[in-house]
Chain A
């Protein structure tokens, strides 16, 4: 199997606070994890790629100081939205890649709905 979990599934926070989202690969080791953002009726937009033990690589236009990513182990990556604002409200989805080479399938978590009030 290839199961990826996310926690929490929903979070509501006040403007100016920080929120941490966890992404775990439950039955495999993931050297690479990805964080996406999805707006209603739109496709997924890659925010950053995180490799275990190294700094994340952010896509153009994504503020690395606002979206802090930590990939401290082969099964856990975290995304912290710092000083959240209403425009950060979105659906955040993580994915994990199995193995280092060969099939490049990404397995996705169930997503986290963030609402900033």
Chain B
């Protein structure tokens, strides 16, 4: 069964405490994997697109990586303003499916 999962469901970090979020997928014919950030009451904000295993993208404190089965979003020295829900999504065939998200809280 095609599936997209994310872990952990929720994560609390102290400011400066680096960590990683996971997005695992079991789909056939992956065309792309996307990371979005969503703040409460707002639409998702596009962060990264990854297309093939081994690919990496970076933006400020965030770095996304992709393997054949999963993607990681690494957050280095997070700040309170990084608190949000991080969503991954995959596209395969004509499908575009979101994972359930990871709610990140960064405490000052």
Residues of A within 8 A of B (CB): 2, 4, 6, 34, 41-44, 46, 91, 93, 95, 103-111, 113
Contacts and interface: CB of A to CB of B under 8 A. Distances in A.
Contacts of A106: 34, 46, 89, 96
Contacts of B34: 104-106
Contact of A42 (B42, B44, B46, B100): B100
Interface of B: 31-32, 34, 36, 41-46, 49, 87, 89, 91, 96-101, 103
B100 A43 contact: yes
At the interface, is chain B mostly helix, strand, loop or mixed?
A: strand
Contacts of B103: 41
Contacts of A110: 42-43
B68 to A, nearest CB: 19
Given A108-B44, A109-B43, A113-B41, A103 B100 contact: no
